[in-house]
Amino acid sequence: MGLYFANAVDDLVGDALAGFAFAHADTVTWDERDGYLRTKRTSPSRRVGLVSGGGSGHEPLHIGYVGAGMLDAACPGRVFASPHNRQILAASRAVAGPEGVLHLVKNYTGDRINFGIAAERLAHEDIACARVLIDDDVATDSEDAATGRRGTGAAVLVEKVLGAAADTGMGLADLAEYGTELAARCRSIAVASAAHTSPATGRPAFELPSGVLEYGVGIHGERARRTLPERPLRALAEEMVGALADALDVGSRSRLVVLVNGLGGTTRMELYAALREVVGLLDKRGAATVRTLVGDFVTALDMRGFSLTLMDADDTLLRYYDAPAAAPGWCAADPVPAGEPR
């Protein structure tokens, strides 16, 4: 518990974005006036610009995935808040290709509304626009959830694979269709033992009794519908893998990309231990873990927890996943199939 290192809480996002752009000046440009980052390098064969965005506090999502082979632009909002439609419109104008622009949108009300308004304004300017909705969180896969599954860890995988597909010269309609297919191939679940620290108060966003875990927590600090007694990692991983495997119908012929993602306050040591358990559990089901990502990819400030994402893969998807990318937050530019030596 404690205050953030900042000149002022209201200045933190802007100061961080300026610093990010300085640190990665070879890769991105920060348009401070219009509020978006864009890549300095993109494939000459790309005919469609890729734009995503969302609230700050989830770094490296989405700003870290702007670069060659991934996003053309990202629009960061304030902490846990949607970017404004003006940001999205300006970014889309700036990076639209000959066939227009594709919006990659996580399934949250604010994001859907603001990307939708920007798309309407683009249509008035005769700039073609389509949307891929990312909705992978099984914790809200319920008729009781007003908006349905939230968009979480799958955003990273979809942005990587779709970026490589865009570099082949794929058109807008085909990219939108493929992106929708990719989103359907992903499911995620997150757990936490402690909430993130509120930048405004310096206190936890919610209190958990000792000895329990939030099972199905959201990346904006949304409380889970379930709490579980603390348990060994293997038992926790078994419940998480079971939920995702059922949702994706994982079987003996499945090939999976596995993302073990820290929510900001969990050590790499714990994340790698979680991966060990997940791979073992998938192996027992006869499924092959063909690629792995471990680290902080979609955070929730300093939340003490992690998420697990499974993506059902085929040869085409893996070829796109393995394609080179030069974005600050992407650390798998030289991938090796899981379990194979270099």
Catalytic residue positions, numbered: 58, 220
85, containing H or E segment: helix 85-95
Three-class secondary structure of residue 213 per DSSP: strand
The CA-to-CA distance between both ends of the chain, in Å, stands at 42
Which amino acid makes up residue 223? Answer: R
Whether 254 contacts 312, CB under 8 Å = yes
Query: φ and ψ at 208, to 5 degrees?
Result: -115, 135
The two tokens of residue 17 are 């974005």
240, 262, 256, 248: which is closest to 331 by C-alpha? 262
Q: From CA 147, how far away is CA 54, in angstroms rounded? A: 16
Output the CA angle 49-81-190, nearest 5 degrees.
Answer: 90
Tell me if 274 sits within 8 A of 260, measured CB to CB: yes
Place of tokens 């060994």: 232
Q: What is the C-alpha to C-alpha distance for residues 326 and 244, in angstroms, rounded to an integer?
A: 30
